[in-house]
Amino acid sequence: MSRSRAAQAVLLASLAVLVTACGGGPDGAGGTSQAAGAPASGIPDTAAIVQGVQKDAQLNAALPDNVKQAGLHLASNLQSAPNNFYAADGKTPIGYEVDLAKAIAAKLGVPVAHQDMAFGSLITSLQSGRIDLTMAGMNDTKARQAQIDFVDYFTSGITIMIRKGNPDGITGPDTLCGKNVAVVQGTSHQKFAEAQSTKCTQAGKPAVNVTATDSDNQNQNQLRTGRVAAILNDLPSAVYISRTAGEGKFFEVVPGEPIEGGPYGIGVNKANTVLRDSVQKALQALIADGTYGKILQAWGVEQGAIKEAAVNGGS
C-alpha cells in the first residue's frame, strides 16, 4: 500500500462522522442497502445490482468441495472507506470491495462470510488455510506473489483532489507547477510530488511547493481554506472524501487514470489454483455483463476499473 494502515485508520476516523445508517442482506445475499429515511452521504444502494447476479452452474460445479459446502471465507481489514469498512451499526461490512465479493460469490453460487482481520495477518492466514480469500486493498506485487496468488480486480494509484469548481485550474500533474500541494508524510504521494517538482523546474517552470503533514484531516482543512491548491491521495480515498465531505460540496477529483497505478488483488493460497481460477472466471463474467462496472460506478471509483481480471498481473 502507498500509505500505512495507521494513516488509513486516521482517514476512517475522519470519515466516520459522515457515514449514515445503512443496512443490507447477509453476505452473499445482497449489497449495501440504505436505511429507510436516512440520507445517502456517499453510501450507495447497491442491493439490486448484487441481487441481480445469476449463479453460473458450471463455475459452481468446478469449485472445491469444501467451498461448495461451506461457502467462501473472506478476510479484510475493514478500516478503509470506500474499499471496505463498517456501516454506522459498527458490524455490517460495506464498500465496493464488499459488493464485488458478494457478486463473485453469487456468480459462483455460494455464500461469502467476511472476517475483520489485521492487515499484517492476511497473507499468513491464507497460507495456513484459515481463510479462503483476502480482499483488502492489497497491492498485487512480485514480492507478494512469492507468497500467495492474486486475481486482480482494481487499479489504484495517486489521484489529485482539488476544491469544488477547480478555482486553481488544475487538470493534471503538469499543472501543479507553482502550486501549493499537501501530502501525508512518508507516502508515495510525497515522493511523487517531489519528483514532479523537479520536472517542473527542469522545464523552466516554478517548483511545486510540497507541504507534508501527519494526517489527511489536516490536509483537507488546508485545501478547504485555500492554503493549498491540491491534495495527493489514493484514488478510492480521494473519491470517497470528495463524495462525503460537506455532503460533496467541498472537494472534487481531477478526472483521468490513476497516476503510477497498480492493481489491487484478491489473495488466494498458491496451492488452491482451482479456487483461484474459479474466482478469476467469475470476476471476468461480471466485467463482461456490466455488473462490475455498475458496482464501481455506484461507489464513484470507476476510474480504477479494469478490463481483464488478470492472475498475478502486478509488477
- Those residues with Cβ within 8 angstroms of residue 77's Cβ, 6 or more apart along the chain or in another chain: 5, 84, 116, 117, 118, 119, 122, 136, 137
CA distance 309 to 100: 12
Closest alpha carbon to 162 in 67, 242, 105: 242
Q: Is the pTM of this model over 0.75?
A: yes
Mean pLDDT of 19-34: 31
Asked if pLDDT for residue 2 goes beyond 90, the answer is no
CA distance 95 to 87: 9
Which residue is it, cell 486493498?
Answer: 137
Q: How far is CA 124 from CA 119, 137, 273, in A?
A: 10, 16, 17
Closest alpha carbon to 208 in 181, 233, 185: 181
Asked if pLDDT for residue 30 goes beyond 60, the answer is no
Q: What is the pLDDT, as a whole number, of residue 154?
A: 97
Question: pLDDT digits over 37-95, tens only?
Answer: 233 456 899 999 999 999 999 999 999 999 999 999 999 989 888 999 999 899 999 99
Asked if pLDDT for residue 131 goes beyond 70, the answer is yes
Question: pLDDT digits over 208-257, tens only?
Answer: 999 999 888 899 999 999 999 999 999 998 998 998 899 999 999 999 88
Please list the alpha-helical segments (H only) found in 111-251: 122-128, 142-145, 188-202, 216-224, 235-244
How does DSSP classify residue 90? S
Q: Where would I find the beta strands (DSSP E) of 20-92?
A: 22-23, 33-34, 72-76, 85-86
Q: What is the pLDDT, as a whole number, of residue 40?
A: 42
Distance, C-alpha 49 to centroid of its chain: 18
Q: How far is CA 258 from CA 2, 80, 198, 247, 251, in A?
A: 13, 18, 20, 24, 17
Q: What is the pLDDT, as a whole number, of residue 141?
A: 93
Answer yes or no: are the C-beta atoms of 189 and 258 closer than 8 Å.
Answer: no
Q: What is the pLDDT, as a whole number, of residue 31?
A: 39
Answer yes or no: are the C-beta atoms of 107 and 59 closer than 8 Å.
Answer: yes
